[in-house]
Amino acid sequence: MNIATANLEDNAMVHLTYDTGLQQRLPCIFLRDNDQNELHPDTKERIFDLTKADIDVTPVSLRADNDTLYIRWPDRDQDAVYDAKWLSCQGSLNDPAIVPKQTWDASFADKITEFDAGCVEEKSTLLSMLTQLKQDGIVLITGLEDNETAGLGFGKHISFMRDSNFGLTFEVISKANPNNLAYTAIDLPLHTDLPNQELVPGYQFFHCYRNEATGGESTYCDGFKVAEDLRDQDPEAFELLTTVAQPFRFFDDGADVRYARPVIELDADGDIAQIAFNGHLAQTPALEGNALKAYYRAYQSLMRRLRSDEYVIEFKLQPQTMIVVDNRRVLHGRVAFDPSTGYRHLQGYYIDHAEIDSRIRVLAR
Ligand code: OGA
Ligand code: ZN
């Protein structure tokens, strides 16, 4: 793309027209701040000090030549050079890690996309897998090797893991003296993990090593879909769940980790940004009387939907597979199992959203 005209206007503004018809007005101070000569030559990070610049700075000279804009600033003895393509996309979010979400209900049960574990070895298949994960909030990995560390090996191809008080990886086995309901054999209603953390873990990776006991089926539900429907069907409940800070707490002998956040978090545009729901870790919000009762009604309205056949999918994870879910969107749970009937062992770990996004951008280069 080429720059057709470049003119200085009032108010220290550069008006550009491109041969595509695109028009753009860019403040001179923005162009001064983005002079490529003011980037560190190795790291390409900005070293220009904006506090020293005149907010009304204007060029000594300005000229466009095909796909390049040249500007001479008063305090510099060489032209600043701007690439037309770079200029034209400023202010627009040109990011391969932005993947529109497609929400789903129970009919999605047989539509979860499956990827062979070998997908991490190839740039294009890894990019497809991560993009699908961002779109659906869930993917199933098949064909892992039959050993306890196969799930870990898979994740190491993607990024580093997110640590927590449960360790970098956690072994979900029914054990004596559990510090968490996951380490028992009872049922775990749908939840997201660790909403009691300041930053909720982004993606949960769950490698199924053995699942031989009776019971122990896994359940999943798209929290964004439930929240969207709640917004339509019970706006009062939606309002409370997006505004009241719900405290969550995990504690044992070595830790006491607490955070309060709305169960449904909205972004600046009012779109659903995050679901944090965990009945085991929920504490009482800072309300009383009728306000607390109204909140309970709202919370129950959401919780009943989370039990509904309309939204929940259920299946038994098979050995040598791994389920990956967006832990800030998709809730997971399990049906009770009987440890006397067979061995059950899942291994979990987390990778945060920012790491997955970074990997997508590098793969898409
Ligand atoms: C967990 C969990 C599910 C299962 O460990 O956080 O939800 O299937 N486990 O055991
Ligand atoms: Zn869990």
In tens, the pLDDT along 110-151 reads: 999 999 999 999 999 999 999 999 999 999 999 999 999 999
Average pLDDT over the chain, rounded to an integer: 96
Mean pLDDT computed over 317-342: 97
DSSP state of 22: -
The pLDDT value recorded for residue 231 is 98
Could you tell which of 334, 335, 337, 347 is best to mutate to test the pocket of ligand 1, judged by most ligand atoms within 8 Å of the CB?
334
- Residue 179: per-residue pLDDT: 87
Bridge partners of 207?
Answer: 322, 347
Identify the pLDDT of residue 91.
80
Could you tell me the distance, in angstroms and rounded to a whole number, from the CA of residue 189 to the centre of ligand 1? Answer: 10
Structure pTM? 0.89
Average pLDDT for 252-270:
97
d(CA 142, CA 114) in angstroms, rounded, equals: 7
The packing angle between helices 223-233 and 235-243, to 10°, is 130
- Nearest-atom index, ligand 1, CA of 191: 7
Q: Which residues pair with 46 in a beta bridge?
A: 39
The answer, yes or no, to whether residue 267 has pLDDT greater than 90, is: yes
Strand, coil or helix: 145? coil
φ/ψ (deg, to 5) at 153: -60, -40
* DSSP H stretches of helix in 234-323: 235-243, 289-306
Q: What is the pLDDT of residues 2-50, one digit of tens each?
A: 999 999 999 999 999 999 999 999 999 999 999 988 899 999 999 999 9
Please name the residue whose Cα sits nearest to atom 1 of ligand 1. 182
Q: Where are the domains of the chain?
A: 3-88, 106-364
Dist CA 309 CA 167 (whole Å): 34
Judged against a pLDDT cut of 80, whether residue 93 lies above it is answered with no
- Closest ligand to C-alpha of residue 316 is 1
The predicted-structure confidence for 180-208, as pLDDT tens digits, reads as follows 888 899 999 999 999 999 999 999 999 99
- pLDDT for residue 210: 96
Residues 341-359 have a mean pLDDT of 97
CATH fold, domain 3-88, is: NE0471 N-terminal domain-like (3.30.2020)
What value does the mean pLDDT take over residues 306-324? 96
Tell whether the model's pLDDT for residue 251 goes beyond 80.
yes
Helix axes 353-364, 123-136, angle to 10 degrees: 140
Given this model, what pLDDT does residue 90 score?
A: 86
Sign of CA dihedral 191, 233, 267, 129: positive
Q: If you average pLDDT over residues 210-238, what whole number do you get?
A: 98
- What letter would DSSP give residue 50? G
Fold designation for 106-364 = Double-stranded beta-helix (3.60.130)
